[in-house]
Amino acid sequence: RNAMGREALPLIVCASLVDKVPNLAGLARTCEVFACEAIVLPDAKVASSKEFKQIAVTAEQWIPCPAVPPAGLREWLVERRGSGYAVVALEQATNSRCLATGDLPPTPAVL
């Protein structure tokens, strides 16, 4: 459950390729608000940094924040697929489709 008591959604946000702490903290806070199952950070030390805590507030206390470094990302994604998750990669490009109008699989791991 998140801080509001909402049940966790079967959605994992993998932020292993995000390298700026403020962006990671903002994603963690967003994941907590939307009751995502977890947010994956590139390094476990990120969640304990002062900069992260100033933005994420207490999100890391309400949502699991496992660490998967970029070098281990491929293996982690393969493991998620083996556990029934569908890997969904997001990008912002000229011909991208709006995420709000697309259908996500029932148990996505969003990269």
Using the predicted structure, report yes or no on whether residue 100 has a pLDDT greater than 80: no
**pTM, two decimal places:** 0.86
pLDDT of 24-40, one tens digit each? Answer: 999 999 999 888 999 99
Q: Are the beta carbons of 42 and 54 closer than 8 angstroms?
A: no
DSSP assigned state of 41: B
Q: Scanning the structure block, which residue is given the tokens 């969003």?
A: 110
